[in-house]
């Protein structure tokens, strides 16, 4: 079993956390659906996620604001869009819920298999305190964690990747960035990183503007691409 040609020189995998490893979509739906329903607004799961993505994207552009603020503003602007009032508790509800967002079913097993072959690092659109509530659920050690708070920017910006590469002491061609999000393909690729899109439910597909080097349906499917068999054994 041999690795995908895009990954032959790779020594380090950097990961997006929420969407790739943690089920942020379920967490967001759990918060926003009852809020919308309270005001007679019925949306499907796909519609709720699309609304979140559409509102969140411009909030992650410069100037930098904390992700806690981004999440609060998503709720505030959802209220404006659909015509309902938003109080303090509602504004804070998404940030409070992050601690309850759970790993996707294949996350921990796949990460444990991958750490036998690669250095693992995290590049996450999150605040340090919010990420601390997630770390214990992931089950592996990350050589480096770079948050948006540390970089003062989000993954739309090449600077967050430059900070991660600098802390890791590696060149771009030694890294593959593994993410469910698609907007980070361009900045990672500009630095010479391979890009792996973990399609998951595919709700980010509508935002895809650049084809990744490798597409997999889930994290488990990445294992054979890097020469790890179904049992997690490096071959």
The catalytic position among 16, 23, 157, 213 is 16
Peptide bond into 63 cis (omega under 30): yes
Let me know if 16 is a catalytic residue.
yes
Using an 8 Å Cβ cutoff, are 102 and 216 in contact? no
Among 136, 153, 172, 130, residue whose Cα is nearest residue 59: 153
Is residue 219 classed exposed, middle or buried when 0-12, 13-18 and 19+ CB atoms within 10 A define those classes?
buried
Q: Are 195 and 188 in contact (CB under 8 A)?
A: yes
Tell me the C-alpha distance between 61 and 100, whole Å: 26
Residue 106 sits at the vertex; the CA angle it makes with 176 and 184, to the nearest 5 degrees, is 30
Pairing of the two strands 12-15 and 214-216: unpaired
Task: Tell me which residue has tokens 């900070």.
Answer: 163
Task: Tell me which residues are annotated as active site.
Answer: 16
């Amino acid at each position: 079993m041999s690795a995908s040609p895009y990954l032959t020189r790779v020594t380090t995998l950097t990961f997006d956390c929420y969407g790739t490893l943690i089920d942020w979509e379920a967490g967001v739906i759990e918060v926003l659906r009852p809020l919308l329903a309270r005001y007679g607004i019925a949306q499907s799961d796909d519609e709720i996620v699309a609304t979140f993505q559409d509102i969140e994207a411009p909030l992650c552009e410069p100037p930098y604001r904390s992700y806690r603020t981004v999440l609060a503003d998503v709720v505030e602007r959802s209220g404006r869009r659909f015509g309902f009032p938003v109080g303090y508790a509602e504004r804070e509800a998404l940030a409070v819920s992050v601690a309850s967002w759970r790993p996707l079913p294949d996350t921990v097993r796949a990460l444990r298999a991958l750490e036998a072959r690669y250095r693992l690092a995290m590049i996450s659109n999150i605040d340090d305190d919010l990420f601390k509530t997630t770390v214990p659920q992931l089950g592996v050690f990350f050589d480096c964690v770079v948050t948006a708070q540390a970089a003062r920017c989000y993954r739309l910006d090449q600077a967050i990747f430059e900070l991660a590469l600098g802390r890791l002491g590696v060149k771009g061609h030694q890294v593959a960035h593994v993410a469910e999000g698609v907007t980070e393909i361009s900045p990672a690729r500009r630095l010479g990183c391979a890009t792996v899109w973990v399609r998951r439910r595919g709700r980010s597909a509508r935002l895809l503007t650049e084809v990744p080097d490798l597409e997999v349906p889930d994290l488990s499917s990445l294992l054979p691409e890097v020469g790890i068999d179904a049992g997690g054994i490096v071959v």
